[in-house]
């Protein structure tokens, strides 16, 4: 089985030692081995700082914006390669569009912002000159410019393309290189996009690095000019936030973690109104897009007591029409979770809610022995939410 290589210090490298497997979300087939053991993280950081950082800092904001636009155009021309790999993660074509073309669209947006709003310089004056003496011989002005370190991006499994690109865009526009550590479960898609960027020759050497597997001791080698961004679970994020080196050197740490979004139906809405239909349609869309694996997915539905049954019946009727299966098959509207581990985790959480008093209105039970990581659309009713 082939190992998913990392791109560090300007070369593709394979780790040695214990590995994890990436499985096909639909068939369960083992696709890739993933490990970063034995790779020199300190050298990778130093390479990015010595090669990528000076090259990016030498570019003006306008030049960096042009680079973003060129990368976006290139990735868009290769999008079908990414769609093919995205199918391995259980995503439908519509799911993949959000991740792939949505991510590329983010590059275009930042490129446009940079070219319109930032100066053709490496410095960005923040305000006007401030006189500090009576005669005006002493004055000051605040300017913004690039940090001299590297940005470490630790990303989540649900958006392997968009999650990377939404962080890369401001990082490159700000003149910093990035070391990307994708979640292992969908790392093959991130790697394909990184390889496409590297092979294009559109970005300076050292501007982008990729770790497939664990970040190892990378955080131990960071300094105050570096930054860390994390997307994932709150538990993991809180653990990384208090990593001794990050705390000791006050390294900026940005975390986007667990979300619990809701959709609230107003008391004045009745089932015959268009607002009711819109409510149902939006909830179903958010429950089924990417099989619910979105930080913005609606996880709680809050409705007036008098409308509980009407909302429940309408949701069940619509969800029962959602065809779950292999996205390669015509008519399938909802794919699988990314792997069996996620399926088991969802089942565990559903069981906890049932034990706490929730009632099943639809779904609620997956076939944990099946090869594909499918979990049916699930609607639970909580009769006593205050408890």
Say which residues have a Cβ less than 8 Å from residue 103's Cβ, sequence separation at least 6.
159, 161, 162, 163, 164, 165, 166
Is 262 designated active site? no
Distance CA 84, CA 278 (A): 32
Q: How far is CA 106 from CA 84, 111, 112, 256, in A?
A: 21, 8, 10, 18
* Helix ranges restricted to H, 185-270: 187-200, 234-241, 244-248
| Catalytic-labelled residue, pool 63, 205, 263, 295 | 295
| Catalytic-labelled residue, pool 78, 205, 256, 358 | 256
Helices and strands, number each (H, E), in the chain: 12, 17
CA-CA-CA-CA dihedral for 302, 308, 310, 313, to nearest 10: 90
Residues 168, 16 contacting (CB under 8 angstroms) = no
SS3 268: coil
Give the other-Cβ count within 10 Å of 92's Cβ: 22
Reference 166, options 256, 87, 86; nearest CA is 256
Is 295 designated active site? yes
Which residues are known to be catalytic? 256, 295
């Amino acid at each position: 089985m082939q190992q998913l290589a990392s791109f560090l210090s300007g070369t593709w490298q394979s780790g040695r030692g214990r590995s994890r497997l990436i499985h096909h979300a639909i068939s369960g087939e083992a696709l890739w081995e993933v490990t970063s053991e034995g790779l020199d993280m300190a050298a990778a950081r130093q390479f990015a700082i010595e090669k990528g950082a000076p090259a990016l800092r030498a570019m003006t904001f306008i030049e960096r914006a042009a680079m973003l636009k060129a990368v976006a155009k290139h990735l868009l021309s290769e999008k079908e390669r990414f769609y093919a790999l995205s199918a391995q993660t259980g995503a439908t074509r519509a799911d993949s569009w959000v991740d792939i073309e949505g991510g590329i669209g983010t590059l275009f947006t930042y490129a446009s912002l940079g070219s319109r709003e930032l100066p053709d310089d490496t410095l960005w004056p923040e305000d006007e000159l401030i006189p500090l003496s009576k005669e005006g011989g002493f004055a000051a002005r605040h300017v913004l410019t690039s940090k001299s370190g590297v940005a470490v991006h630790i990303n989540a499994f649900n958006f392997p393309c968009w999650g990377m690109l939404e962080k890369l865009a401001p990082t490159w526009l700000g003149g910093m290189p990035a070391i990307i550590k994708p979640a292992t479960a969908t790392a093959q898609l991130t790697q394909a996009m990184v390889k496409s960027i590297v092979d294009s020759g559109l970005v300076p050497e050292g501007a982008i690095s990729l770790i497939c597997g664990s970040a190892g001791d990378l955080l131990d080698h960071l300094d105050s000019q570096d930054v860390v961004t994390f997307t994932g679970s709150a538990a993991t994020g809180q653990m990384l936030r208090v990593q001794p080196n990050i705390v000791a050197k006050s390294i900026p740490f940005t975390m986007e973690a667990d979300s619990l979004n809701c959709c609230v139906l107003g008391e004045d809405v009745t089932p015959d109104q268009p607002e009711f239909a819109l409510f149902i349609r939006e909830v179903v869309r958010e429950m089924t897009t990417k099989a619910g694996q979105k930080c913005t997915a609606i996880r709680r539905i809050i409705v007036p007591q008098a409308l509980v049954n009407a909302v429940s019946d309408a949701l069940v009727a619509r969800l029962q029409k959602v065809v779950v299966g292999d996205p390669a098959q015509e008519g399938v509207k909802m794919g699988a979770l990314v792997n069996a581990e996620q399926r088991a985790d969802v089942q565990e959480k559903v069981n906890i809610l049932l034990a706490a008093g929730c009632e099943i209105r639809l779904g609620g039970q997956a076939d944990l022995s099946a090869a594909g990581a499918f979990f049916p659309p699930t609607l639970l009713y909580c009769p006593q939410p205050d408890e």
